[in-house]
Amino acid sequence: MRFHIEGRKVILASFVLMAVLSFVVSRFINVQGLRYFLYIGFFVEFVWTVSFFRIPNRQVNRGGNSILSSADGEIVVIEETFEKEFYNEKRIQVSVFMSPFNVHVNWYPFDGEVVYAKYHPGRFLFAKNPKSSELNERNSLVIKHGNGKSILIRQIAGVMARRIVSYANVGNKAVQGDEFGIIRFGSRVDFFLPTDAKIKVHIGDKVKAQQSIIAEF
């Protein structure tokens, strides 16, 4: 396991803050029980911050027609919807909610090419809110498969997420299981699939990026 480069400054800042707060507590809190309670709280917060930026070592579940999940989390939406940002047609939407305890790195779902990439500023509604897909801060990518079909992936910021990072640009080669970005602190990823895609997940399923197949072409 390793840690994401985007987390280095955050982890360092968290360590400094926890150290300062611990010093303040040691100087000004005389109740021993309360002091130890605060120390434990600071330690748990720091461990959570470090774990948030973890990158697990996984074997990519490669498959030519497989559409792998780009995110760890829970399936919260499977429905037919009208996608109006890029396709202007009906698509099957599959959404993965990423809790603050999930890995938040995002990976390409299949081999192909990035043909569209656009960042949208927006609000920070709770990521499970259906309106978050269109109103929240978000970043959209369209990946085209070698078979000519494509999907739109939308990284969505949530209540806690305040930064979406995407390394994908139009013309980039997408390699199944390779990283294309990260969303910091609780968020969601939407997939807009062709209507003839074979959905392999159900509402409430827990999925893992690089391994769980959400659909097949």
pLDDT digits (tens, 9 = 90+) for 128-182: 555 555 667 889 999 999 999 999 999 988 655 457 888 999 999 999 999 999 8
Q: Mind telling me the catalytic residues?
A: 187
pLDDT at site 186: 61
pLDDT at site 1: 66
In the predicted model, residues of the chain with pLDDT beneath 70 are 1, 3-4, 7, 122-135, 158-162, 185-186
Cα 2 from Cα 11, distance rounded (Å): 13
- Secondary element (H or E) of residue 23: helix 8-28
Token pair belonging to 184: 């910091």
Contact criterion met (CB below 8 Å) for 135 and 122: yes
Token pair belonging to 188: 């969601």
Best CA proximity match to 181, nearest among 169, 157, 165 = 165
> What predicted TM-score, i.e. pTM, was given to this entire model?
0.81
